[in-house]
Amino acid sequence: MNAFAAIIRRDLLLAMRRKSEMLTALFFFIIVVSLFPLGIGPEPMLLRKIAPGVLWVSALLSTMLSLSRLFATDHADGTLEQLALSPTPLGVLVAGKIVAHWLTSGLPLVLLAPMLGLQFDLDASALWILICALLLGTPLLSLIGSIGAALTLGVRGGGVLLSLLVLPLYIPALIFGAGAVEAHVSGLGAGGHLSLLAALLALAVFFAPWATTAALRISLE
């Protein structure tokens, strides 16, 4: 646990020293979400209908901007090899890096989403469902994305390949996350969608660090 906490603290400190990378993803999220109300116009019914999909697709794309840097910097300076050789299991360290990635890339999106949701005329209860869905979904995006980042580590044109690998795997999270808000707005209840999203997160928490560790060992060989 000490190594797990240490790797989280280290990655958070590095992220604070490279604030421009984190702010780029946040501004991308804000700008993309804000363009839709400006382009569509002040039609409350239409805005409420498209809000879940717009917010979730924007969060998904914003998360992907930072995935390529999840292991690339440590790989370039040799830190990743030292982590692989350390007495601490690599899976524990990888889990710490995934948590740090979510704290710097996913959690800010969760905090910003309610303010941006007001542009789409979502009421307080719909914004609460949106927060719950993103709290379950953004860690899932980081967990799945870590597998793709490990598989494409050191590959030329890895950013494009990463997108091709990860985007199809993001579809269930997108469907259930956006569907939860849409179902609530329609009066159908969001419980089923949130339960399925939580089940996907539980599976990813169990399998993703193991799969990422295996992919990293292959990339380091």
96-140 pLDDT per residue, tens: 889 988 998 889 999 988 888 888 888 888 889 889 999 999 999
What are the tokens at 110? 């969760």
- Under the banding of pLDDT at 50, 70 and 90, the label for residue 42 is confident
Q: Is the pLDDT of residue 155 over 80?
A: no
13-48 burial string, b = 16+ CB within 10 Å, else e? eebeeeeebbeebbeebbebbeebbeeeeeeeeebb
Closest CA to 207 of 91, 55, 111: 91
pLDDT at 199: 93
SS3 content of the chain, % helix, strand, coil (to 5): 90, 0, 10
pLDDT at 68: 77
**pTM of the complete model:** 0.87
